[in-house]
């Protein structure tokens, strides 16, 4: 496996000098396609298209899975919610974790984000479920549990309410 077609061409040339020939004596695959170098000179090269943009998007999505907010309490709650979104979590649990009253937490959350902590918990559960539904072959029942829903039926209800469709669709 070579980085790109230019490197592949260099390897073909070096191996040819040593009496090795592609594809008879060795196979060679490049990671970045350069069409003109793939086809000429002989032998033609095999290249694969690596989805670098998609890989970058996935990495960015995972590393920026929270909102930047000025309120330190809301920021702390968001970090806690993201870290805990794989399990069932409640607003009272969050208030205990960040040492704030429910009223203070709800007031500051709505001021910063325009939604309550409970709404954010539901939003994160839905996002996690959607991500798993897209990225994994797991059954819906398993995904419901992984996303913090009490059961598969709750996931179906949430999808109908917030997405207007079923999880499988």
72 against 53, higher pLDDT: 72
CA angle 163/109/69 to nearest 5° reads: 95
Asked if 5 and 38 touch (Cβ cutoff 8 Å), the reply is yes
Joined tokens for residue 132: 């798993």
**Mean pLDDT throughout 125-137?**
89
pLDDT for the residue 83: 84
Report pTM: 0.58
Domain containing residue 94: 64-162
Asked if 74 and 108 touch (Cβ cutoff 8 Å), the reply is yes
Joined tokens for residue 140: 């819906």
Residue 168 placed within a domain: no
The number of domains in the chain is 2
Percent of the chain with pLDDT over 90: 34
pLDDT for the residue 92: 95
CA dist 100 and 117 (Å) reads 12
Residue 113 placed within a domain: yes
Joined tokens for residue 85: 């979104």
Same domain flag for 86 and 23: no
Same domain flag for 82 and 127: yes
Backbone phi, psi, residue 113, to 5°: -120, -15
Same domain flag for 43 and 96: no
């Amino acid at each position: 496996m070579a980085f790109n077609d230019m490197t592949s061409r260099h390897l073909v040339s070096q191996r040819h000098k040593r009496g090795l020939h592609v594809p008879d004596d060795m196979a060679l695959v490049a990671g970045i396609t350069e069409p003109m170098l793939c086809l000429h000179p002989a032998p033609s090269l095999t290249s694969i298209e690596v989805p670098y943009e998609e890989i970058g998007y996935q990495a960015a999505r995972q590393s920026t899975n929270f909102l930047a907010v000025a309120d330190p309490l809301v920021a702390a709650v968001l970090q806690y919610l993201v870290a805990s979104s794989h399990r069932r979590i409640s607003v009272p649990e969050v208030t205990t974790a960040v040492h704030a009253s429910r009223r203070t937490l709800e007031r500051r959350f709505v001021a910063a984000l325009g939604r309550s902590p409970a709404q954010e918990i539901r939003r994160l559960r839905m996002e996690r479920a959607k991500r798993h539904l897209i990225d994994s072959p797991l059954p819906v029942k398993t995904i419901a549990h992984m996303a913090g829903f009490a059961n598969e039926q709750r996931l179906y209800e949430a999808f109908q309410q917030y997405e207007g469709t079923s999880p499988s669709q």
